[in-house]
Structure 1
């Protein structure tokens, strides 16, 4: 025989206890007994605590990876902007209106392509990194000067720079300078 216990609880606790006791296979006495046992003897449910600690550790690792990824993206964007602003000459004032219109059109296409990739679950950076590590596994092992394009350290001119110096738009075919491929 178990000892009988009378206790006063707040209205909100009484309501929650009433709802919990309506579940099949349980009653108020069993719920109160389990709650008091856990409160008075926390070592008894170490499995639940261990599961919680494992989950918190996993969440912590995910947050660390996300923080690292955001840091890499921010640095990448900053380096790209610095490079772009360094190599892009100012436009004559007569060409600025046409350049703005073309820029708006290209930006709209860029936004559409980003939306398409996000909707499809595609990750361009991961895809590119996979391709690079497969085709050129030693690429990231080279000693490259900060901001220097690949090939520039050896004294050679890269395809990008030779096209840029010739006034061409790198990466686009001569016939389709206005076309932007699927990203």
Structure 2
């Protein structure tokens, strides 16, 4: 059942309505009802647009995080490749077969560990970075506490160089192959200098 409603239209709008009804083959009442339905649903459309915009923002953030993770992976792979090429000695033909067998076993274990981490959704790189961040914060807090103790006890106005070096990362383990082409001795290979960086 439909209720009867009277409306007043301008002459131009009435002409357009008549032409549209003739072109589409529907009645004027059906056209007006469809137009009113679209107009009254505009609030819901705005709400739907806001939801879609929010989802797009979330996707954009996820893509940004993926980009950052890919950069870390690229750098890690590049550094590992350079380090591996710098420290791996040439093998004789007799040693090559055994090295291939051992390498295959190690790769199987490596792939298994990667699979477990992917299933758990954990990131070794991110875990390591977070751990270093906490460690650096703790070192800085210890440095501030030590400085406060020195001021309280009036021991010395000179800064503790050992603590300062620790905060600055001076006591951090150094990479065997460093940026800039420096040459260092690889651990467990005493007095055998590394080859020049690749």
1:44-55 correspondence to structure 2 within 5 Å: 45-55=45-55
Deviation at 1:47, TM superposition (A): 2.2
Aligned to 2:63: 63
Q: Deviations over 1:42-74 (max 9, x none)?
A: 577322212211221121111111122112211
Q: Which runs of 4+ in 1 moved over 6 A?
A: 138-141, 150-153
1:149 equivalenced with 2:150 (yes/no) = no
Q: How many positions carry a matched residue from both structures?
A: 136
1:100-119 correspondence to structure 2 within 5 Å: 100-119=100-119
d(CA) in 2 for partners of 1:34, 1:87: 75
Distance change (3 Å), C-alpha of 1:165 and 1:35: farther
Q: 2:187 aligns with which of 145, 159, 162?
A: 162
Deviation at 1:116, TM superposition (A): 2.0
d(CA) in 1 for partners of 2:114, 2:79: 20
1:72 equivalenced with 2:72 (yes/no) = yes
1:8-27 correspondence to structure 2 within 5 Å: none
Distance change (3 Å), C-alpha of 1:8 and 1:90: farther
RMSD: 4.2
TM value normalised by structure 2: 0.52
Aligned to 1:130: 130
Distance change (3 Å), C-alpha of 1:150 and 1:97: closer
Give unmatched runs, 5+ long, in structure 1: 10-28, 168-183
Give unmatched runs, 5+ long, in structure 2: 6-20, 141-165, 193-198
- SS of the residue 1:89 aligns to: coil
Larger relative contact order (Cα-Cα within 8 Å, sequence gap ≥ 6) = 2
Query: Conserved in 1, the CA contact under 8 Å of 2:117 and 2:123?
Result: yes
Between Structure 1 and Structure 2, whose CA radius of gyration is higher? 2
Distance change (3 Å), C-alpha of 1:8 and 1:108: farther
